[in-house]
């Protein structure tokens, strides 16, 4: 492996690990907010217990997300100095504002945890709203740097110089709103289905009609409603994302669909793999004219193929598989909740068969996997550029060598962190059962978020 590949692999591994905690760290506060709203409306203690337990999990995940995010920031400076030089001149605002977003999130989470029983209900809601806003703002601001990489704006590049710099124009680059919408919606999908996966797993172990069964059943239904709704919104946003790729990064769209020849009435290739030699997507299911319609809302929209670009500008062709994996999982996350609702409403079934429960358990990991596919697709599909058509990845990389040792050490760190976070969560929830938390909530003299629990 050459040093450039090791640098990309090291940073990619860091982001692949960090994005799990960052995404759940955005989706879980929203779930906590919804549970708190339902409690204030219904006074059903099950919902406030859900909020408490999810808050504890959120604190553990945040404890890992913060250091891994810090590692990612340090690696950006050390591994990609050329890139950070441009960002420092043209696009500093997201990093600067993100500090305040995190401050808001941490401050109001502290208020909610330590003063929930001492403040008015509207203040509890307000504190959680600020937590959720701070979390999603942090994600959007950092993701905006990625949006800028794909659609750079706010400066003029001439003879290696960055001139007429406008930081706000760079901030509100052409793909800002599409990218911000996609990261927010997909994070809420992940948060909901991770909660639903845990609830389905717990239901599988409980006797029908027991107190814990009913508790986890409520959590499952809540997560399925929210997850299905936001999965549908994510799919609609994906349509806008395809149109922005058609306009701003046509070779990325062409590689995602394995399209080599420029054409109108272009087909949409589902499944299969891209064969560079034969210039086709083998074993794919093609939907005639669909890609043209997705790209421009018209079947006669001309979609540019890869052969219209120099081959050195082609993204890796395996991004077709990543794109299909992301879209395929997203489709399942819409259909599976609909199947559950149909099972209950149409067939009038009150219990769930084990295969259905196991399917719901798998929805959590699948949602996380879709995020991983989407992130790798977004970044790898921009190659060979770190800033599209301005700065190549090779030009922005560090000149340091012998990075393999660091790569191995960081992988070891992530393995230890991963094992530790799972062990801590298992220990806490085994020590504090649902019945224990419900009992504490029913005792007016015991604070719901007592640090002794």
Collect contacts of 248-251 with beta carbons under 8 A, ≥24 apart. 248/150, 248/151, 248/174, 248/175, 248/388, 249/150, 249/151, 249/381, 249/382, 249/388, 250/303, 250/304, 250/309, 251/304, 251/306, 251/309, 251/313, 251/314, 251/315
Token duo for residue 176:
């800002």
438 or 38, higher pLDDT: 38
Taking only the tens place, the pLDDT of each residue in 339-376 is 888 877 765 667 788 888 899 999 999 999 999 999 99
Task: Using the predicted structure, report yes or no on whether residue 260 has a pLDDT greater than 90.
Answer: yes
Confidence grade of residue 419 (pLDDT, cut at 50, 70, 90): very high
What HEC string does 151-177 produce?
CCCCCEEECCEEECCCHHHHHCCCCHH
pLDDT tens per residue, range 267-284? 998 988 898 888 888 888
Which structure tokens are listed for 199? 């609830």
- C-alpha dihedral (442, 444, 446, 447), degrees to nearest 10: 100
The owner of tokens 């395809």 is 242
Share of the chain above pLDDT 90, in %: 53
Q: What is the pLDDT of residues 390-414, one digit of tens each?
A: 999 999 988 888 888 889 999 999 9
Whether the pLDDT of residue 451 is over 70: the answer is no
pLDDT at 445 over 60: no
Confidence of residue 327 (pLDDT cuts 50, 70, 90): very high
The band of 453, judged by pLDDT with boundaries at 50, 70 and 90, is very low
Residue-level pLDDT at 348 = 64
Average pLDDT over residues 70-95: 89
* pLDDT value at 337 more than 70: yes
pTM: 0.92
Q: What is the pLDDT of residue 332?
A: 94
Assign 450 a pLDDT band (cuts: 50, 70, 90).
Answer: very low
Average pLDDT over residues 13-17: 92
pLDDT at 347: 59
CB 187 within 8 A of CB 139: yes
Map out the domains of the chain as residue ranges.
3-442
The predicted pLDDT at position 181 comes to 92
pLDDT at residue 18, as a whole number: 92
Q: Which pLDDT belongs to residue 251?
A: 94
| pLDDT mean across residues, the chain | 88
Q: Return the CA Rg of the chain.
A: 23
Which tokens is 423 given? 């062990």
At 255, the pLDDT band (50, 70, 90 cuts) reads very high
> How far apart, in whole angstroms, are the C-alpha atoms of residue 59 and residue 420?
14
The helix (run of H) or strand (run of E) holding residue 389 is: none
Q: Which of 231-240, 289-298, 335-344, 365-374 has the highest mean pLDDT?
A: 365-374
C-alpha 57: how far from chain center: 18
pLDDT at 112: 85
Task: Categorize the per-residue pLDDT at 444 as very low, low, confident or very high, splitting at 50, 70 and 90.
Answer: low
pLDDT of amino acid 162: 84
Portion of the chain with pLDDT greater than 70, in percent: 96
Q: Given pLDDT bands bounded at 50, 70 and 90, which one contains residue 3?
A: confident
């Amino acid at each position: 492996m050459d040093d450039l590949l090791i640098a990309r692999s090291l940073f990619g591994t860091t982001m692949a690990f960090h994005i799990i905690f960052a995404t759940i760290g955005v989706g879980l506060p929203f779930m906590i907010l919804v549970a708190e709203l339902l409690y204030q409306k219904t006074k059903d203690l099950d919902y406030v217990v859900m909020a408490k337990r999810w808050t504890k999990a959120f604190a553990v995940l945040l404890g890992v997300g913060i250091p891994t995010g810090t590692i990612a920031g340090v690696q950006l400076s050390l591994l990609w100095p050329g890139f950070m030089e441009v960002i420092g001149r043209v696009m500093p605002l997201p990093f600067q504002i993100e500090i305040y977003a995190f401050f808001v999130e941490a401050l109001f989470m502290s208020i909610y945890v330590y003063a929930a029983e001492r403040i008015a209900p509207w203040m509890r809601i307000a504190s959680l709203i600020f937590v959720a806003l701070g979390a999603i703002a942090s994600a959007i601001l950092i993701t905006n740097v990625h949006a800028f990489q794909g659609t750079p704006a706010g400066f003029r590049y001439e003879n290696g110089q960055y001139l007429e710099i406008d930081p706000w124009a760079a901030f509100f680059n052409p793909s800002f709103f599409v990218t911000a919408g996609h990261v927010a919606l997909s994070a809420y999908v992940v948060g909901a289905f991770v909660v639903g996966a845990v609830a389905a797993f717990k239901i599988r172990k409980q006797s029908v009609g027991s107190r814990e069964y009913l508790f986890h059943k409520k959590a499952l239904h809540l997560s399925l409603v929210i997850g299905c709704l936001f999965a549908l919104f994510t799919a609609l946003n994906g349509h806008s994302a395809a149109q922005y790729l058609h306009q701003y990064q046509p070779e990325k769209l062409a590689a995602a669909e394995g399209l080599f020849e420029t054409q109108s009435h272009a087909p949409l290739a589902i499944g299969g793999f891209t064969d560079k030699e034969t210039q086709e997507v083998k074993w794919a299911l093609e939907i005639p004219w669909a890609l043209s319609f997705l790209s421009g809302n018209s079947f006669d929209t001309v979609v540019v193929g890869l052969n219209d670009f120099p081959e050195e500008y082609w993204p890796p062709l395996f991004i077709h598989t990543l794109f299909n994996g992301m879209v395929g999982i997203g489709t399942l996350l819409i259909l599976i909740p609909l199947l559950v609702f149909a099972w209950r409403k149409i067939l009038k079934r009150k219990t769930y068969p084990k295969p259905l429960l196991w399917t719901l358990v798998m929805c959590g990991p699948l949602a996380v996997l879709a995020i991983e596919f989407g992130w790798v697709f977004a970044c790898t599909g921009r190659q060979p550029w770190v800033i599209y058509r301005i700065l190549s990845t090779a030009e922005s990389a560090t000149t340091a060598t012998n990075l393999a040792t660091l790569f191995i050490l960081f992988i070891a760190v992530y393995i230890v962190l991963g094992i530790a976070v799972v062990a801590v969560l298992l220990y806490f929830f085994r020590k504090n059962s649902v019945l224990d938390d419900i009992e504490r909530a029913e005792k007016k003299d015991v604070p719901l978020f007592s640090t002794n629990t």
